[in-house]
Amino acid sequence: MKKSFSLAFLLLTGCVFAQQKNDSIYHFSLQQSIAYAMDHQGNMVNARYEVDKAGAKVKEIRGIGLPQISGTVNIQDFLEIPTTLIPAQFFNGPSGTFEPVKFGVQYNTTGELDGSQILFDGTYIVGLEAVKTYKELSQKNLVQTTIQTTSSVMKAYYTVLVNYWRLQMFDADANRLKKLMDETESMYKSGFTEKIDWERIKVNYNNLKTQEVNIGKILLLSKQLLKFQMGMPLADSLALTDSLKSVPLNPDLQQDTSFRPENRIEYSLAQTNMRASELQLQKDRFSYLPNLVLYGSVSELAPGDNFEIFSPNQAWYPTAIVGLKMGIPIFDGLQKAYRVQQDKIGVKESVTQLNTLKESIYLDLRNSETSLSNALADLKNQEENMGLAQNVEHDSKAKYEAGTGSNLEVVDAETALTESETNYYNALFNALVAKVDYEQAKGTLYNKK
């Protein structure tokens, strides 16, 4: 019974552990990886927190214009009642002298309720608009962070795919060379070839295996980088379901006459920043206007020689007041005038920055178009070179097996093939990155998420 129970317990805990482990294994396409990053990547999480914080800030500023009510309770114990000097002649004393007299009681308890309401304040009105602009900025920053995260995840995902195919390439090349090396070794042992022929192939084989091991390590590192860009714990397992064949590499590089700088979130952010500068100028101009506040208070005083505020016999003396207060700025040493002057300069700076950004966006688009065009041309060339290298390797090996070619030709062909394959995958990766940069420059990357 004990053994059966122990076995059942081990099986049960093993199942639970396996289930927990399986929960940390993810099979993601590119779009699924991006979607995961939207919910877990640290910058994305903080950007959403900033939006929430901005929403709370709007409500905080709005609350300034609502009635402000506060209450106070003040309990005073006069350990020494204040003394007042009264002319002695009031008490039939000599003229020119004073008689000390104490007025008041030892205990004073006051309960007071104060309230105020802004009726007009120009800076408050502008402040409401400014805080809405602040919230808009946080929302646009969230969009910008989304675009940057999308770009980072796409590039990291493509890096893993390319490194995976590089590893497959080196593995295939090593297997092919291993077969040739074994065949050459048999021929050498049978006396049909020289030892140096076998050694040449073995040197190439050893180099390929070393590169294969290095690429395997780079592949693992690139997976870790992808998980980091996604906000996924590095201890979790991630398998990619997309392949390089599923990645379209045929963008339309025709001049897009419909493109507008407004398509870029950076331009939209600059516009909002300019609006914030204009609101700051408006706020400081409104500070010249008077402000009007309605206020009032209600209080009750309970004096006595004994502390008896909870006694039903304690007398309370009420006081109530209501008033209207107008603040009129007269002279502040020209501080507001200089603030307005600074604000005007700030608006001019914002306009200059917006115009400069507009030109840089167009330049960025042209640069990304050129980079992508060059990358695609290089990819096409490297693909053609790889095909030629494959043909040369096939022909040289066939000649060698037929006895009409040399072993050196085969080794050179294998080396050239490996080099051409490496160049092809480098060109492929560059083209994929250039494609992401091009979409980001056009302002269309966000729609791909």
Contact 413, 389 (CB under 8 A): yes
Q: Is pLDDT at 19 greater than 50 in this prediction?
A: no
- Amino acid identity of residue 169, one-letter, is M
Q: For residue 121, what are the CA distances in angstroms to 285, 326, 328, 334, 430?
A: 12, 10, 11, 20, 58
Q: Is residue 301 part of a domain?
A: no
pLDDT in tens, 254-269: 666 678 888 899 999 9
Contacts of 289 (CB under 8 A, 6+ apart): 120, 122
Is the model's pLDDT at 5 over the cut of 90?
Answer: no
212: pLDDT strictly greater than 80: yes
pLDDT at 14: 43
Q: Does 71 reside within a domain?
A: no
Could you tell me if residue 149 is inside a domain?
Answer: yes
pLDDT computed for residue 249 by the predictor: 79
85's tokens: 């000097």
pLDDT tens digits, residue range 117-162?
Answer: 999 999 999 999 999 999 999 999 999 999 999 999 999 999 999 9
Which residues have C-beta within 8 Å of that of residue 425, sequence separation ≥ 6? 162, 165, 166, 169
The pLDDT value recorded for residue 425 is 93
Q: Produce one character per residue of 346-370: b if its CB has 16 or more CB atoms within 10 Å, e if not.
A: bbeebeeeeeebbeebeebbeebbe
Per DSSP, the three-state class of 24 is: coil
Q: Which residues pair with 325 in a beta bridge?
A: 293
Residue 370's nearest CA partner among 252, 253, 248, 249 is 253
CATH code for the domain of 415: 1.20.1600.10
In this structure, the dihedral spanned by the alpha carbons of residues 341, 347, 350 and 356, taken in order and rounded to 10 degrees, is: -90
- CA-to-CA separations, 423 to 209, 293, 370, in angstroms, rounded: 18, 75, 20
Structure tokens at 181: 């090396």
Residues of the chain above pLDDT 70, percent: 93
Domain-located, residue 274: yes
Whether 12 has a pLDDT exceeding 60, the answer reads: no
Judge whether 390 and 417 are in contact, CB under 8 Å: yes
- Phi and psi of 302, rounded to 5°? -120, 95
Q: Which residue do the tokens 């502040």 mark?
A: 332
What Cα–Cα distance (Å) separates residue 105 from each residue in 68, 102, 306, 314, 316?
33, 9, 8, 13, 14
pLDDT of residue 222: 96
Residue 337 lies in a domain: yes
Residue identified by tokens 């006895």 is: 403
In a domain, 166, yes or no: yes
The domain total for the chain is 1
Adjacent-strand bridge partners of 102: 83
pTM beyond 0.85: no
Q: Which of 51-60, 224-233, 397-406 has the lowest mean pLDDT?
A: 397-406
Q: What is the pLDDT of residue 447?
A: 59
- Give residue-wise pLDDT tens across range 71-100: 999 999 888 888 888 888 877 878 888 888
- Pseudo-torsion of CA 212, 218, 224, 227, nearest 10°? -90
Q: Which of 364, 438, 425, 444 is nearest to 160 (CA)?
A: 425
Helix (H) or strand (E) holding 87: strand 83-87
User: How much of the chain exceeds pLDDT 90, in percent?
Assistant: 63
Return d(Cα 413, Cα 173) in angstroms, integer. 12
**Predicted confidence (pLDDT) at residue 422 exceeds the cutoff of 80:** yes
| Amino acid at position 75, single letter | I
Complete DSSP assignment for 194-263: -HHHHHHHHHHHHHHHHHHHHHHHHHHHHHHHHHHHHT--TTSEEEE---GGGS------S--TT--GGG
> Does residue 105 form part of some domain?
no
> DSSP per residue over 405-448, as a string?
S-HHHHHHHHHHHHHHHHHHHHHHHHHHHHHHHHHHHHT-SGGG
Q: The domain containing residue 439 runs over which residues?
A: 24-64+121-289+329-448
With 70 as the cut, is the pLDDT of residue 16 above it? no
Q: In b/e form, how buried is each residue of 390-408, taking b as 16+ CB within 10 angstroms?
A: eebbeebbeebeeeebebe
Mean pLDDT of 296-307: 90
For residue 284, is it within any domain? yes
Is pLDDT larger for residue 101 or for residue 51?
51
Cα 377 to the chain's mean position, in Å?
34
What does the alpha-carbon distance between residue 43 and residue 234 come to, in Å, rounded to a whole number? 17
Contact indicator for 343, 287 with CB cutoff of 8 Å: no
